[in-house]
């Protein structure tokens, strides 16, 4: 199977869907003439023209509102935020318009729109450009929230998101666009709300999503050398959440560590921990542990970034803690 970059997988998903349906268009800052801030939309202006690949002003609230209006009238916009940190400027349109339109209209208006772009930390960008908002958007009824971790999932899930008749938040990472992975040339889609067991294991379950799951892979490899078998579940979507896959795994391993790149309060890991203790409490041999970003704005200094974010050492420590709690 061919190997392509994460950004190429996203580009293929958008381009294939735009060829299939002329009502789909892409808009955002620098998506056209500059080929995208991260070159995700490279070549799309040349193929689809300026009416379907649209450069916008630096005005997220404005172009998000235009997109919601277009979607409410039969078009299918893809809105790229240069970073989801900037989506805060447009959050009124996302939450109060796109997410609520179907309900408030009594089912008369669908809003088939995808808001996509990078989320969470991306190196030395400091506090205002390093925030993970997946749990914020997942808290809102009417939105679906996708956070892929690899090129294969990114392409299949983005195609599904574009075809969905409801608003979808599709969150990537600036540090993943160059990641490479196997992606088939033939047509495929991945359903929203279905987690994937990325690594089979018997001793402990790690649940994660997005780029931070790579920390889980690295930790699992080190733990395997010590005789600890780790099962890794990639949620892929955080609204809806595939609780069944998580609970089935916990019933097998009897231990759970949840890893994510958000602040700890009201996080996706909080929700997973609550659901598992509610529905699989009798199967747990140890308390559920969570690993999140430190409860503070992200610093600029690389040493402080390393201390703030989840890392391999923190995952290994947590796994050993749940493994040896009764020993």
Report the SS3 class of residue 34: coil
Q: Are strands 76-80 and 114-118 parallel, antiparallel or unpaired?
A: parallel
In this structure, are residues 132 and 261 in contact, taking their beta carbons and an 8 Å threshold? yes
- For the annotated catalytic residues, the residue numbers are 60, 129
Strand partners, 76: 24
Strands (E), the chain: 3-5, 24-28, 53-55, 76-80, 114-118, 144-146, 168-172, 180-182, 196-199, 204-208, 230-234, 237-239, 256-259, 289-291
Query: Which residues have CB under 8 Å from 140's CB, separation 6+?
Result: 95, 99
Nearest to 198 by CA among 240, 152, 141: 152
d(CA 186, CA 183): 9
Nearest to 213 by CA among 272, 173, 271, 161: 173
């Amino acid at each position: 199977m061919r190997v392509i970059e994460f950004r190429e997988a996203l580009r293929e998903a958008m381009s294939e869907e735009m060829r299939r349906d002329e009502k789909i268009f892409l808009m955002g800052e620098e998506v056209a003439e500059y080929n995208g801030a991260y070159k995700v939309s490279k070549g799309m202006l040349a193929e689809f023209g300026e009416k379907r690949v649209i450069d916008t002003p630096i005005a997220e609230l404005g172009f998000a509102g235009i997109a919601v209006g277009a979607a409410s009238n039969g078009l299918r916009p893809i809105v790229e935020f240069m970073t989801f940190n900037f989506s805060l400027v447009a959050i009124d349109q996302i939450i109060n318009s796109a997410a609520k339109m179907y309900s408030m209209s009594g089912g008369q208006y669908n809003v088939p729109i995808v808001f996509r772009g990078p989320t969470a930390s991306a190196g030395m960008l400091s506090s205002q450009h390093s925030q993970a908002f997946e749990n914020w958007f997942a808290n809102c009824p009417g939105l679906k929230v996708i956070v892929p971790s690899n090129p294969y999932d990114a392409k299949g899930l983005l195609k599904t998101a574009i075809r969905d008749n409801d608003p979808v938040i599709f969150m990537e990472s600036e540090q993943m666009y160059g990641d490479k992975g196997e992606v088939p040339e033939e047509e495929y889609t991945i359903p929203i709300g279905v987690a994937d067991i990325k690594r089979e294991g018997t001793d402990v379950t790690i649940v994660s999503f997005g780029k931070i799951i790579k920390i889980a892979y690295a930790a699992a490899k080190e733990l395997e050398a010590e005789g600890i078998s780790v099962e890794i579940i990639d949620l892929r979507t955080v609204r809806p959440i595939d609780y069944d896959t998580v609970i089935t795994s916990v019933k097998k391993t009897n231990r759970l560590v949840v890893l994510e790149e958000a602040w700890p309060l009201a996080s996706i890991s909080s929700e997973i921990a609550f659901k598992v203790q509610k529905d699989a409490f009798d199967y747990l041999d140890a308390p559920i542990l969570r690993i999140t970003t430190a409860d503070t704005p992200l610093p600029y200094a690389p040493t402080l970034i390393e201390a703030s974010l989840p890392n391999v050492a923190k995952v290994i420590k947590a796994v050993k803690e749940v493994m040896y709690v009764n020993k």
